[in-house]
Amino acid sequence: MGTYVVRRLLQMIPVVIGTTFLIYTLVWFLPGDPFAGRCGQRPCPEAYVALMTQKFNLDDPLIVSYLKYLGGVLTGNFGETFTGLSVWSEIARAYPVTMKLAAVAIFFEITIGISAGIMAGLRRGKFLDNLVLISTLLVISIPVFVIGTVLQYFLGLKMGLFPPTVPPDAPIYSLILPGFVLASLSLAYVARLVRTSLGENVKSDYVRTATAKGLPHRRIIGLHVMRNSLIPVITFIGADFGALLGGAIVTEGIFNIAGVGGLTYRAIQTQDAAMVTGVVTVLVLVFLFVNLFVDLLYGVLDPRIRHE
């Protein structure tokens, strides 16, 4: 296991370098003026352009400029925004909120999505199975911003069951409604994925063998079938968790959540290239480590999988 983890960490190095280099190039070195619009309707003064060009190492060749940025990232320095704010400080302020929102969303995905999928998979063709299929199809067909707006209006404003907006400190209770909205599409896919995977594994040869040996049906389903059925589900949830940590711009916008999604949206609006580059770099690192954790879970769920 230790060798596998080390090998995976080494494999991450070229991925991090490649993705960050691509993002850095797209943000800073595409044709055009990176400071366009920074001074309102007028062109920026030459002194300002020269100062910013030197500050962000844009007078160096692309490779040299990128290596300077990468060196700063390795030492924890993600640079400064055009307004002089520390990129890392802004990310560190917004990321805990997004992490709590993503955790709430994943909780709904696991509890509701997997439970609905199990009930549907074990009762194929019956009323509960059809109910899950219809309800998940309905959720998939409705845009997230519509679900969020409707639930915010009825459950938040009309009925007062949940706060319609999230305060800056983002207590867990205030994140229940936006967390459910954020998870709605994913939990529908999780339910369908569990249903399909469970239905396939129930018909497998090892289930018939276990049944013939006299093992209790509850033990066959709970110990053998479920562990094999959850492997593709864990893959989906792991990838989705990495995406959720990237910030849900729509959900955070509807509920006024001060997370990474809103930070990224404002950075794009204001064309703050330093902030966009820093946020994407952090997201790449988080996504890679989440996928490593998911791969390690495979060996726990399926004893046939061994990391040599």
| pLDDT for 105 | 93
| pLDDT for 187 | 92
| 66 and 103, same domain (yes or no) | no
Helix/strand/coil for 295? helix
Reported as a single tens digit per residue, the pLDDT across 269-308 is 777 888 888 888 888 888 888 888 877 777 666 655 554 5
| 248 and 282, same domain (yes or no) | yes
| 160 and 260, same domain (yes or no) | yes
| pLDDT for 241 | 81
| 120 and 231, same domain (yes or no) | yes
**Final residue in a domain of this structure, among 46, 64, 87:** 87
Inside any domain, residue 307? no
| 184 and 215, same domain (yes or no) | yes
| pLDDT for 301 | 63
Inside any domain, residue 306? no
| pLDDT for 111 | 93
Residue range of the domain that includes 37: 2-87
Segments of the chain with pLDDT less than 70: 1-2, 31-33, 36-38, 40-41, 246-247, 299-308
| pLDDT for 274 | 84
| 40 and 104, same domain (yes or no) | no
| pLDDT for 1 | 62
Inside any domain, residue 308? no
Neighbours of 116 (CB within 10 A): 24
| 149 and 282, same domain (yes or no) | yes
80 pairs with which residues across the strands?
86
Neighbours of 72 (CB within 10 A): 16
**Final residue in a domain of this structure, among 41, 65, 87:** 87
| pLDDT for 287 | 82
| 62 and 197, same domain (yes or no) | no
Inside any domain, residue 34? yes
| 147 and 218, same domain (yes or no) | yes
Residue with tokens 């639930």, as numbered in its chain = 151
* Contact between 185 and 109 (Cβ < 8 Å): no
How many structural domains comprise the chain? 2
